[in-house]
Structure 1
Amino acid sequence: MNSTASTGPAGLELSEASQSAEAPLAGLPWIEDATSVAPQDARALSKVFFGRLTELEEGTHEYQYARNTLIELNLSLVRYAAARFRNRSEDMEDIVQVGTIGLIKAIDRFDLSREVEFTTFAVPYIIGEIKRFFRDTSWSVHVPRRLQELRLDIAKATDEMSRTLGRAPTTAELADRLELSTEEVVEGLVASNGYAAASLDVPVDENSEGGGGTYADRLGDVDPALEGVENLQALKPLVEDLPPRDRRILQLRFGAELTQAEIGAELGVSQMHVSRLLSKVLARLRAGLLAQQ
């Protein structure tokens, strides 16, 4: 028996089997493999899923399906952003996984009423998460080859001179032995201290049997407001450079939380004109933030 097909919300053809799955999914189309959807179709479908996501109850099967499908539909954004870092030594799969965390954050925070394309909204989140990953891990991984070799030379010379002198050699003595400047020796010693990272699971008191806890136990939690502070500090000089009218529109929209129609009445212009002005201002701020990445 021949199966029939109809056209889905993004111009995709949905089979009878696909259509039959719509009812239990609150009217959302069933997508067997969202990662294979073309980018143009993915953008159109994302709007449909975002629209329904705000209406669904969090924790339900339908909500999870919509959220997970949005993640799969937009994984190409993660791969696009990760490609910028392909020359790094980290495994590309690790970078993609970290970028996916940024994508999920963007999905959870996106609002269709902002009149901003999701791709524009999500890319800074993805890139920011990847860069944060590099900041948090690269200090104990990336040691220049020159310092790696110097670290070994210093360790060997320190061991030999300690046996001869009966004490640890001074920096000046190491410099004479290795025919280097004291500054070079100091640089090598600093590299030695940062070459290996100790585990946070090491007990604070090695003589205690678990009673003293670990270093990880003494670490505080990440303040969720820090990311907002960072964004505000980055935006502050960009907002100050805006013309007075643009700053006024931002204050009315995001400070006073007026609608576009209310802003139009306040400024004596149409709602459509406010929408165009607001989009232009937000695009300028986005471009400024991306330039700082």
Structure 2
Amino acid sequence: MKNVAPATMNRDLNSLKQYNEKELFKLYAATKDKTIRNELVNRYLYIAEILSKKYVNRGIEYEDIYQVASLGLIYAIERFDLNRGFEFSSFATPTIIGEIKKHFRDKGWSIRVPRRIQELSKKVNAARIVLNQTLQKSPKIEDIAEYLGCTAEQVLEAMEASQVYTPKSLDLSYDTNGEDKDLQLMDLIGEDDRHFDIIENRDFIAKCMDKLNEVEIKIIKDRFFKNRTQIQVADELGVSQMTISRMEKKIIEKFRKELTRIKDL
């Protein structure tokens, strides 16, 4: 690892650009320098952005979700232990999602509900408590409407909307009529989350690219990111198309071996 004094890093953020992520985590664990943490945050903000987009149009503004996700990223950086052998993205993803879900549980409605209905729902709940004590029985819809000075239809609308404020637990079980195992709500809903694959694939590619030389990196970027042909790349590098083809196969084989190694861990 390159030798740069912590005091120097405090003064010069650019000096951190030469470090890879593992080196930065080691430095941060040793120094707790906020400049190092900020650099790690900048490098991994894409995880917070990807995960935040999963929760748009659910009753809370994207900017608020992104702030919560970014805070979750900071928590993940603070708690991450490089010595445990985990990839940071695998550790950070559930941490960030946990913070987002906690924010929705504390602040949000599970679906978007107009502000006027949210406010009326709160008033209806308060009115039911007051009227229950006053009338010594559960109030009727008409009683609540008269107390609040609104229509019975508005009260019903607010009561229906309040049902979406608290989502059902995924652990909720359903009777399966004699089956050995009850069916849980989590078994009935949901789908594979492609965002996890996006994050893992991006980290895998970045890790493999760190092990390539400059020519190999150029070939990969030109061929698979810029969609250039082998002939175009060969002409620019001053070699034959066959040379590019052979190098491309060797690079892909390196990626394949690295993927096999990771799966065997």
TM-score, structure 2 as length reference: 0.42
TM-score, structure 1 as length reference: 0.38
Higher share in helix: 2
Choose between structure 1 and 2 for higher RCO, CA contacts under 8 A separated by at least 6 residues: 2
